[in-house]
Structure formats: structure tokens, C-alpha cells
């Protein structure tokens, strides 16, 4: 009889019952957190990719840096478009005026972006397969409850990720250098102030791009929070 009680106690510690009779187990909670964390990472990477390829905003940012006054408007626009097309793998040529060191660094950037895109696609595939499998493991009557929990955990995970990245915004200069030291250990990322790369892309350009990624991601947190509250009220799901 004691053994039976201990087993019942352990079962209650590992699971609890929700409305409708569905028993929520601890392993479900772990899987929901894993899915939510991966979703948060995918969203931030998606926003970063959007910012990377938003040439319209980039040209406005470049013009605000007085780059047009230093290079000439047509030359700056042409050079920027060549650089963006090159690093995303849609072109093979860089501006002729760039030095070999500048071109070498952008080649390294192109490789990093390419690997990042491949990793992003693999992450999306794994997330899709894992997410579908997780929801299919449960009865259709409780899938909406699971979805609500994923939205809630995703919002929390994304907020934490933004907070961590936000720390880098306050120490952007040192964080920017650390980033380059980690991903470009060959050391070909230091250039003179009058180089074409620095003229086109001063540090403030990257800071504003980074803040833009954080801003869009923060907007997703707000949407996630509002959605989770509305869905929770709709489904009458208990907090846990």
C-alpha cells in the first residue's frame, strides 16, 4: 500500500489535470519550451534577414551618415547595392574601387551569411517536423490548449532573447569588435577611416540596423503577449 501511494504522489508531481480532463505532463512542458525557444531564434533571424535585404531603408541610413557628400550619391548607391547582392549570394562582383582587403573581408561575410542561411533553413525544417509531431501526439481536443501555451512560452523566450541582445546595444562598440574577433579570426576586418567600407558603413550604420532588429522583435513580443491573453481568455486555460 505504501508503494502505491508513493507512485501516486510521483505521478501527481509529474502531471496535473487541466479542464476537460487532459493531464499535462512535465515532459510536455519541456517540449513546449524547446519549441518556443527555437521559434524565438527563428523569428530574430528572420527579422535580421529582412533588415539585411531592406536596401531602401539602408540607403536612407547611408544618406543620413553624409556618405553621399563624401562619395557621391550615384557611386554610393551603386556600391551599396553591389555589396548587398554580393554578400547574399546574388552577385559575384564587388565595387572595383574596393581594396583587396575589403573584398577579402566581404568574401568572409558572404561565407558567414551563406552558412547562416543554411543553418536557418535546417532549423526551420527541424522546428516544423518537431512541432507537427508534438501536436499530432496529442488529441485534437487539447491542441488549442497546447498552442496557447506555445504562444505564451514563445513570448517569454523572445523577451529574454531580446533582453540578452539588448545588453549588446549599450556596449555596442566592444560587442561589435568581439563579434568580429569570433567570426572573423583572420583579422582582416580593420580598415582606415577613409576606406570605402567605412565610408559606406560606419559603426552607427550597424548600430541602427541592430536596433531595428531589436525593435521589430520587440513588436513581436507585444503581439505575442496580446495574442496569448486573448487566446487564454477564449480557451479558459488555467495558469501553471
Residue 111's nearest CA partner among 130, 88, 95 is 88
Please report whether residue 8 resides in a domain.
Answer: no
Distances (CA, A) of 130 to 27, 32, 148, 194: 14, 10, 17, 50
Beta bridge partners of 200: none
Please report whether residue 64 resides in a domain.
Answer: yes
Nearest 5°: CA angle at 64, between 62 and 70? 70
Please report whether residue 95 resides in a domain.
Answer: yes
Q: Rounded to an integer, what distance in angstroms lies between the CA atom of residue 213 and that of residue 53?
A: 12
pLDDT of residue 12: 43
Please report whether residue 41 resides in a domain.
Answer: yes
Q: Which H or E run contains 11? A: helix 2-14
Beta bridge partners of 15: 25
How far the first Cα of the chain sits from its last, in Å, is 30
Higher-pLDDT residue of 240, 38: 38
Q: Rounded to an integer, what distance in angstroms lies between the CA atom of residue 52 and that of residue 17?
A: 46
Please report whether residue 240 resides in a domain.
Answer: no
Residue 146's nearest CA partner among 36, 13, 222, 39 is 36
Reading the block at residue 81, the C-alpha cell is 547595392
DSSP secondary structure code for residue 141 in this structure: G
Residue 26: pLDDT band by 50, 70, 90 thresholds?
Answer: low
| Averaged pLDDT for residues 227-234 | 81
User: What's this model's pTM, rounded to 2 decimal places?
Assistant: 0.81
Residue 16: pLDDT band by 50, 70, 90 thresholds?
Answer: very low
Please report whether residue 13 resides in a domain.
Answer: no
Q: How many CB atoms lie within 10 A of CB 1?
A: 5
Please report whether residue 129 resides in a domain.
Answer: yes
Please report whether residue 12 resides in a domain.
Answer: no
In three-state secondary structure terms, 17 is strand
* Contact between residue 120 and residue 109 where contact means Cβ atoms under 8 Å apart: no
Half-sphere exposure in the Cβ direction for 117 (13 Å, CA): 13
Residues with Cβ within 8 Å of residue 136, at least 6 apart in sequence? none
92-130 per-position pLDDT tens digit: 899 888 999 999 999 999 999 999 999 999 999 988 898
Say how many domains are in the chain: 1
Residue 46: pLDDT band by 50, 70, 90 thresholds?
Answer: very high
pLDDT of residue 77: 86
Predicted confidence (pLDDT) at residue 14 exceeds the cutoff of 60: no
| Averaged pLDDT for residues 217-221 | 94
| Averaged pLDDT for residues 133-138 | 81
Share of the chain above pLDDT 70, in %: 83
Predicted confidence (pLDDT) at residue 166 exceeds the cutoff of 50: yes
The domain in which residue 71 lies consists of 22-235
Mean pLDDT of the chain: 83
Amino acid at each position: 500500500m505504501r508503494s502505491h501511494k508513493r507512485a501516486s504522489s510521483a505521478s501527481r508531481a509529474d502531471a496535473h489535470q487541466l479542464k476537460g480532463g487532459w493531464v499535462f505532463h512535465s515532459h510536455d512542458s519541456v517540449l513546449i519550451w524547446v519549441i518556443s525557444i527555437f521559434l524565438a531564434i527563428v523569428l530574430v533571424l528572420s527579422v535580421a534577414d529582412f533588415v539585411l535585404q531592406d536596401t531602401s531603408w539602408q540607403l536612407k541610413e547611408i544618406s543620413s551618415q553624409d556618405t553621399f557628400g563624401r562619395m557621391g550619391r550615384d557611386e554610393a548607391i551603386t556600391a551599396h547595392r553591389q555589396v548587398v547582392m554580393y554578400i547574399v549570394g546574388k552577385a559575384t562582383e564587388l565595387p572595383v574601387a574596393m581594396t583587396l582587403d575589403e573584398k577579402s573581408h566581404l568574401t568572409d561575410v558572404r561565407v558567414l551569411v551563406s552558412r547562416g542561411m543554411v543553418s536557418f533553413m535546417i532549423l526551420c525544417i527541424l522546428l516544423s517536423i518537431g512541432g507537427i509531431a508534438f501536436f499530432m501526439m496529442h488529441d485534437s481536443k487539447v491542441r488549442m490548449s497546447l498552442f496557447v501555451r506555445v504562444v505564451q512560452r514563445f513570448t517569454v523566450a523572445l523577451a529574454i532573447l531580446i533582453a540578452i541582445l539588448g545588453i549588446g546595444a549599450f556596449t555596442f562598440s566592444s560587442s561589435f569588435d568581439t563579434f568580429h574577433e569570433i567570426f572573423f579570426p583572420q583579422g582582416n576586418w580593420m580598415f582606415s577611416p577613409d576606406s570605402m567600407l567605412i565610408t559606406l558603413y560606419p559603426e552607427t550604420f550597424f548600430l541602427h540596423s541592430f536596433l531595428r532588429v531589436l525593435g521589430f522583435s520587440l513588436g513581436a513580443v507585444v503581439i505575442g503577449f496580446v495574442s496569448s491573453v486573448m487566446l487564454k481568455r477564449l480557451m479558459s486555460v488555467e495558469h501553471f
